């Protein structure tokens, strides 16, 4: 059964946009996954220890895999693209997080969906709202647009893309 899954992408080491594009290319090569839409790029201040700024985006995937199986593949993509897990919330070439699985809640030791910190993070909600503002958080009972409206200002701004695909907005959601 196919599910729409939203994946957050982030990078703050080296050529940030190139890392995001490489991750998007890897996602598009997964047999049971189709990339439906990509948000714009957003530049944001880091969470955690002092480090370079992040470049973030969200992609909507049509996925025939379980969220747990997709997570294993995402972690392999991170590893293949040079991600090192040396410091919690430390700098990284690429970070891939499952933010939402439409209509599902996943709570197991290795995966929490919706992402536990999503409602606090403008760098994830801004691009997610661009793709699906009416998406309902199944635990909090609020739409992505409503969650974004409740957030205090954070240092997040849209960023110009050179190689990243232009944001593609669904025609029925604004």
> Which residues form the catalytic set?
83, 92, 95, 97
**Which residues lie closer than 8 Å to 45 by C-beta, 6 or more apart?**
53, 54, 154, 155, 156
* Selection from 50, 44, 49 nearest residue 8 by Cα: 44
* Selection from 9, 61, 58, 57 nearest residue 35 by Cα: 61
């Amino acid at each position: 059964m196919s599910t729409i899954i939203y994946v957050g992408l982030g990078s703050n080491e080296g050529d940030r946009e190139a890392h995001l594009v490489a991750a998007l290319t890897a996602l598009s090569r997964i047999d049971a996954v189709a990339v439906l839409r990509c948000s714009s790029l957003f530049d944001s201040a880091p969470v955690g220890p002092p480090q370079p700024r992040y470049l973030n985006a969200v992609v909507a995937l049509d996925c025939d895999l379980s969220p747990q199986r997709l997570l294993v593949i995402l972690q392999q993509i991170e590893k293949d693209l040079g991600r090192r897990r040396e410091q919690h919330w430390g700098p990284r070439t690429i970070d891939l997080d499952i933010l939402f699985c439409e209509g599902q809640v996943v709570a197991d030791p290795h995966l929490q969906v919706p992402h536990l910190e999503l409602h606090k993070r403008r760098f994830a909600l801004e691009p997610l709202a661009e793709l699906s503002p009416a998406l309902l958080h199944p635990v909090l009972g609020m739409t992505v647009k409503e969650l974004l409206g409740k957030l205090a200002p954070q240092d997040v701004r849209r960023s110009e893309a050179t190689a990243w695909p232009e944001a593609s907005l669904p025609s029925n959601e604004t």
